[in-house]
Chain A
Amino acid sequence: MNKTSKPSLSAGAWLWLLLCAAVLAYLPTLLTERAFLGMPLSNTQLLNLGLSQINLMLISMLGALSLNYLTGCAGLISIGHAAFFATGAMAAAVFDTQLGWPFPLVLLAAALAGALAGTLAGLPSLRVRGLYFVLSTLAVHYVVTYVFLEYQFKYFDVVGIPYATPRLGDWELNTPVRWYALLLPLVVLVYWGLKASLKSREGRAMLAMRDHELAATSVGVDVRILRLKAFALSSAIASVAGALFAYYLSNVTSEAFNILFAIQFIAMIIIGGMGSLSGSLVGAAIWLLLPSIIGGLSPQSSESNEFLGKLLVEHRAQLVQLIFSILVIVFLIFAPGGVAGLATSLKNAWQAWRAKP
């Protein structure tokens, strides 16, 4: 086994990376023009997807990455993730809508607010574990959303808190393409950062803590501080994502951060595979894009009278939900490791097949 300090990528891997980069760069044009190199594509061929959806998916990826860092890597299960999004939205409301700070500073403030909120939310972990800690995060969720609601009602209209279009200097974020240009590098940055942090000494200590807390403590890992640090970092990222979410929607109420919002991040990391950061990217993509794809496959015509046609058209919304949830259930039963687990077993099977004499 050769020990290299820097991982080297083969030529093949570089080619894949370049191809992916090219595809990702072309994606906004593809989705806005609805045409591939000049030839128009129908909505079904584009899988019923649009650039707004991709942008929201990118924001959710930030949420999924941060939650997977907390839950999959540090071993702290939390269903209060929506609370940190709400913290970021509130920070953006205070510092931008009320105080008028510039956009980059607002995001920084959101990150700090999130880190603070995360540290506070992580305090119960010093006392309780497992399921009880999960419940404390649920309680934190309700408390934070209540504070958000009170704040909204006191300083803003009942119909929601407005957010101005963000701008970096003279460059306004007023089209989906510009948002994409901001969000994609951000997601890649956060992904690389978290991956690097897991390779660091503290990151490895965190993984040890997740796997066997007592053993980690016995080799000198201070689990209490580490837990709080994990919470702070995860919540800071979620908070920035929340601020971006609020800016993107340009008007939010506390309803946007309800318990369903929190639960969908859990779904993303489970589908992606707990502990796998790249898995949570896939999980976020699947959770957000699959309902649209399913919906796009069914006909919209209100013409047919027979039973199946009627079902597909009249109850389309419910049918999409039904098919989607059944797919999730089937996935959970047959692919316990999520997409990452599936990918690993496929890779192992492929290598085993290749290695056969």
Chain B
Amino acid sequence: MTASTLAFSHQARHWGLLLSATLCSLTAWGQDAPQDGVYKDRIDWGVLMDMSGPTSASQGIWVHGFRDHMRKINEAGGINGRKINVLAEDNRFNPATDKIAFEKLVSQTPVIAISGMGTSVSQVALAPTIKAGKVPIVGTYTATKALSEPVSPMVYNGFCGYKQMAQAGVGYHVDKLKLKSAKVVTLAIETAGGKEYHDYVAEAVGKLGGSASHLTVKVTAVDMTPQILEIMKLKPDFITVYGVSNTAILTMKGLAQYGLNIPTFGITYLGAPQIFQSMGSAAAANYKFISCFTPGGADQTPGNKALSQYADTIGRGDMKQDINYVAGWISAQMAAEALTKLGKNPTRARLIETLSKGFTVNTQGLTAPITYTPTNNTGPVVFKLIGYDFAVNKFKAYGEFADYEKYAR
């Protein structure tokens, strides 16, 4: 009995392999795939993000922004005669899937470069491979120390960092409220990023003579009464929120419920219109988010108009206001500009060479100019505080990027 089942299970396995061998012989042999992802009529560019997992609410939208900008470029003829083909791999926020997807983009369906990489754990795990490898990461969604320090010619951050978010947000509020020794509360979900963000906030506040307390909340929270009661005890001058959509919504609703009028700002990732809409105009009156990107439709700069008009024509009228969409769009812009500089013969090596010499991305108003130098790959560093105008259902900014430049130091 055992022998025949063993033989049969081996048979079953062998049949499977035979089937795939047959598949091989039935179809034509594959052409010699260029190792760089550059073909005669197209260039393959990789994206590695969470498109169906717990953070897909923001990361999925980023991918849409990235894809749409590339689509706009392709409709206008592509870059130097080649269309950009976006190969987006879903990692479901799972480091094992991330590792598989990364390998896929590097050697199975090779791409010239990768954008995104939204899982911090995977960034840390893959950092040695990336830095020693051949595929550059152009425009990350999140930044980790392992990948960003020391500065590597293989990595270019594409999203505002937590440190800069903390500095700008704290600096603005301390100035505006004229605080000598500010008391701040960081309300964060219990993840790696949350703790890191609080450390930066505490550092920024400490430099200005104040102190910051750290409150945590779980990701699937439904009610923040314990945290609000704690806030009532601490009596902060302003609050900063780090988390997912419901973290911000529950915080503001809770504050409103207890009649607390405390200015609050959230991180850039919390810049989606549905977050404000869910809070309601009363609760959202005290809430803004700090952002290095401008939501689509919030102002009339050339970059913003171009994004808005294109988004409207392809049915992304609502999505264009989501900050993650804009971030993806801008990363694609960065990618496209880098490719344009390479001319008719792009290769991975030449891409890395061009990028590492330093370059500036001018997004025509969507962000402050983003400058990369051989010693600084931080990405966007200048911010604005953005709130929601319920009268016209659009975002509005508090000041210009230039007003906030002093906080970037």
Measured CB to CB, the residues of A under 8 A from B are 7-10, 12-13, 16-17, 19-20, 23, 32, 34, 36, 39-53, 56, 157-160, 162, 176, 195, 199, 245, 248-253, 255-256, 278-279, 281-282, 292, 295, 300-303, 313-314, 316-318, 320-321, 339, 343, 347
Cβ B103 vs Cβ A302 within 8 A:
no
- Within 8 Å by CB of A8, from B3, B109, B195, lies B3
Docked Cα-Cα span, A16 to B107, in Å, equals: 32
Contacts A278-B5, A281-B9 given; indicate if A157 touches B192 (C-beta within 8 A). Answer: yes
Interface size bracket, B side: 35 or more
Q: State the CA gap A56–B30 with chains docked (Å).
A: 26
**In the assembly, what is the distance between CA of A303 and CA of B70, in Å?**
10
Q: How far in angstroms is the closest Cβ of chain B from A237?
A: 19
**Interchain CB contact under 8 A, B108 and A34:** yes
B13 touches A160 (CB 8 A): no
The answer to whether A45 touches B125, judged by C-beta atoms less than 8 angstroms apart, is: no
Residue contact B125 to A249, C-beta cutoff 8 Å: yes
Judged by a CB distance under 8 angstroms, whether B12 is at the interface is: yes
CA distance A245 to B99 in the complex (A): 12
Q: Which residues of A contact B125 (CB under 8 A)?
A: 160, 249-251
Q: Is A301 within 8 A of B85, CB to CB? A: yes
Whether A46 touches B67, Cβ cut-off 8 Å, given contacts A17-B10, A158-B191, A281-B9, is: no
Known: A7-B2, A46-B108. A16 touches B11 (CB 8 A): yes
**Max chain A Cβ within 10 angstroms of own Cβ: one of B60, B64, B104, B195:** B104
Known: A34-B33, A157-B192, A256-B95. A48 touches B9 (CB 8 A): no
Q: What residues of A have a CB within 8 angstroms of the CB of B145 in the complex?
A: 159
A50 to B12 Cα, complex, angstroms:
21
Contact of A347 among B8, B108, B122 (CB under 8 A): B8
A157-B199 Cα distance, complex, nearest whole Å? 13
> Per a CB cutoff under 8 Å, which of A9, A56, A160 touches B100?
A56
B14 at the A/B interface (Cβ < 8 Å)?
A: yes
Known contacts A43-B108, A318-B52; A253 and B121 CB within 8 A of each other: yes
CB distance from A32 to the nearest CB of B (A): 8
Known: A9-B7, A56-B96, A159-B196. 5 other contacts (CB 8 A): A16-B10, A20-B17, A43-B30, A46-B108, A302-B86
Residues in A neighbouring B5, C-beta threshold 8 A: 278
Nearest-neighbor residue (CB-CB) of B121 within chain A: A160
Distance of A329 from chain B, by nearest CB (Å): 18
Out of B2, B31, B51, B90, which one reaches A40, CB within 8 Å? B31
Question: How far is it, in angstroms, between the C-alpha of A252 and the C-alpha of B29 when the chains are bound?
Answer: 39
Q: When each residue 89-132 of chain B gets 1 if its CB lies under 8 Å from chain A and 0 otherwise, what string results?
A: 01011111001100110011100000000001110110010000
Q: Quick check: B86 and A253 within 8 Å, CB to CB?
A: no
Q: Which residues does chain A contribute within 8 Å of B74, judged by CB atoms? A: 302-303
Q: How far is the CA of A49 from the CA of B128 in the complex (A)?
A: 23
A199 and B3 contact, Cβ closer than 8 Å, known pairs A45-B27, A282-B12? no
Q: CB within 8 A of B192: which of A158, A250, A301?
A: A158
**A34 to B56, alpha carbons, bound, how many Å?**
32
Q: Are B14 and A159 neighbours in the complex by a CB distance under 8 Å?
A: no
Check if A162 sits within 8 Å of B124, measured CB to CB. Answer: yes
In the assembled complex, which residues on chain B have CB atoms less than 8 Å from the CB atom of A303? 74, 83
B51 CB contacts on chain A under 8 angstroms: 316-318
A278 to B6, CA, bound (A): 8
B146 at the interface (CB under 8 A from A): yes
Give the residue name and chain of the A residue nearest to B145 (CB).
A159
**For the complex, is B71 an interface residue (Cβ under 8 Å from A)?**
yes
User: Which parts of B25-47 form the interface with A (CB within 8 Å)?
Assistant: 27, 29-33
Given contacts A302-B70, A317-B51, whether A41 and B30 have CB atoms under 8 Å apart is yes
The 3 closest A-B pairs by CB, nearest first: A42-B30, A278-B9, A251-B125
Tell whether, in the assembled complex, residue A302 and residue B67 are in contact, meaning their CB atoms are under 8 Å apart.
Answer: yes
Task: Determine whether the beta carbon of A317 is less than 8 Å from that of B85.
Answer: no
